[in-house]
Amino acid sequence: MATATKAFEPPDLFEPRTSVILCGSKRALLRWVAYALVAGHPGGFIWGHVRMEDEVFEESDLLKTKLIPRDRFLTVLPRELTRDELAGNVAIGGLMPSETDKDEVRRFADLLRLPKQTQELFSRLPRQGPTPVLVLSGGQRLAALYSMETVGPTLRSILRFGGSMLMTWAEAPPAGRLEFERILHLEGNEPSQWRDAVLRVERGWPSGPLRTGAELRLRDLAPVASILGRTF
């Protein structure tokens, strides 16, 4: 088991902009680790949660606490995050004949295909300085809404117009994970047992403890140890 030899801070993870998916079977632990990775980011974070109408959180769940400020937290139903394919197709049909930069038109069309709620969120982001990390927990609930061919364009639009993104996925890792720039797998149990949980890096950063192929216990991951060590 590899051990982290150098501590790192969250800005190293999300600057320059990147997309990260954190996969695992324990939802409460996933959310705590995600929070620990973004808590120190200089631009802060905005946390969205894809909820089910009858969802009940475990007592140990991050979302049962008050650690996420109200003005940075929103919940959405899966259907509220569907893509608007019609808007994108209309944009291409209207602009492409007279537009010389076809790639730029396609990027604009992909922006219009993003959910209306996501576009509204982008409009409220700061124009200067570091941008918040956009966190989405419960990402697995969108699987039926996003086919493989739509994952890549969606992520690229979020990075271009919004900022870095971190998604938690509490089911078997999806094939669409390969569209993310960073892919992490979390193996563990309850948040109270976080020290023995293992993080495997399928696709990581160029250097440091989270480089591709690394495997380490959460107790050796500085941002996680700092946050969870004070809580559990």
Token reading at 205:
């950063």
Terminal Cα-to-Cα distance of the chain (whole angstroms):
23
CATH of domain 16-184: 3.40.50
Of 104, 204, 116, 94, the closest CA to residue 156 belongs to 104
pTM across the whole model: 0.90
Query: Confidence band (pLDDT; 50, 70, 90) for 8?
Result: very low
Residue in the block written with tokens 């079977």? 25
Token reading at 104: 């730029």
Judge whether residue 165 has pLDDT over 90: yes
pLDDT per residue as tens digits for the range 203-216: 999 988 999 999 99
Cβ-contact 186, 23 below 8 angstroms: yes
Tell me the per-residue pLDDT of 182-196, one tens digit each, with 9 for 90 and over.
999 999 999 999 999
Of all helices (H) and strands (E), which one includes residue 103? helix 102-113
Structure confidence at residue 91 as a pLDDT band (50, 70, 90): very low
Contact by Cβ (8 Å): 93, 126: no
